[in-house]
Amino acid sequence: MVKSPIVSEFDLEKLKLRSVMTAAAPLSPELRTAFEVKFPGVEIQEAYGLTEHSCITLTHCDPRKGHANAKKASVGFILPNIEVKFIDPESGRSLPKNTTGELCVKSQCVMQGYFKNKEETERTVDQDGWLHTGDIGFIDDDGDVFIVDRIKELIKYKGFQVAPAELEAILLAHPSVVDAAVFAVPDEEAGEVPTACVVKKVGAVEDEEEIIEIRGLNVASYKKIRMLKFVDSIPKSHSGKIMRRVLKDGFVKR
């Protein structure tokens, strides 16, 4: 809605747009701000969940307060009758508030299992009934839940962990970028390097190197994008998730 020209064809005042909901992929602070500037007064609601469980959090409903809005960048408050904990992905140790770890959830909504795939089911749901989401995040003192990225999508560059969502947000803040995806590509020296595919705005004049240079000014050296390619579109699943494997395979085969 922020960057699509189709939106200008509608009179949103007549439609009485009051709120929008986003889910399936992270909402960057830059994109949120751009939306708030373009659509002042329209409330942004977020939800977090997964196919193996359904909804886990909502930003516009804190059951402890009756009704409240979560902090910006938060995916909301934990819904009733759901247990959530954050663990160290390596040791499995439960972590305190404000400490980043893997989000695990336990409730009556946890799936029975993957169809005819007992091994993957046992890897995802442990013996105590905790569903390991594979999402990295934390919960703060007020009960707001924050999601940082996916464990499997973190890029390991020379021992450092790089979150693709953070770099995607930086790319999307560029006025010439319509859409973007960041993923890992194997590298003999670094292990993996941050790589990006970008959909460029029609008429934009910047080349790949210019985008890399400009967007790399505000990040640590290990987070800098090493390769970038312009594409016509970013492949996404039906739920809106970026299909990084498709992009990665295309880069590796080049």
> Which domain CATH number covers 122?
3.40.50.12780
| Domain termination site, one of 150, 169, 192 | 150
* pLDDT tens digits along 82-125: 999 999 988 899 999 999 999 999 999 999 999 989 999 998 99
List CB contacts of 111: < 8 A, sequence separation 6 or more.
51, 52, 53, 125, 131
Q: Are residues 13 and 132 in the same domain?
A: yes
Q: Are residues 120 and 207 in the same domain?
A: no
| Domain termination site, one of 125, 150, 175 | 150
Distance from C-alpha of 109 to C-alpha of 207, rounded to nearest angstrom = 48
* pLDDT tens digits along 146-159: 988 888 888 989 98
Average confidence (pLDDT) over 62-70: 62
| Domain termination site, one of 126, 150, 174 | 150
State the pTM of this model: 0.69
Q: Are residues 128 and 44 in the same domain?
A: yes
Q: How many domains does the chain have?
A: 2
The pLDDT, as a whole number, for residue 67 is 56
Say if residue 254's pLDDT is above 70: no
Average confidence (pLDDT) over 58-68: 64
Binning pLDDT at 50, 70 and 90, where does residue 234 land? very high
Q: Are residues 42 and 132 in the same domain?
A: yes
Q: Are residues 53 and 161 in the same domain?
A: no
Q: Are residues 119 and 163 in the same domain?
A: no
Residue 200's SS3 state is strand
Domain that holds residue 159: 155-253
Average confidence (pLDDT) over 170-198: 91
Is residue 136 within 8 A of residue 148, CB to CB? The reply is yes
Q: Are residues 111 and 201 in the same domain?
A: no
The pLDDT, as a whole number, for residue 81 is 92
Q: Which of 36-50, 55-69, 96-110, 113-127 has the lowest mean pLDDT?
A: 55-69
Distance from C-alpha of 178 to C-alpha of 136, rounded to nearest angstrom = 26
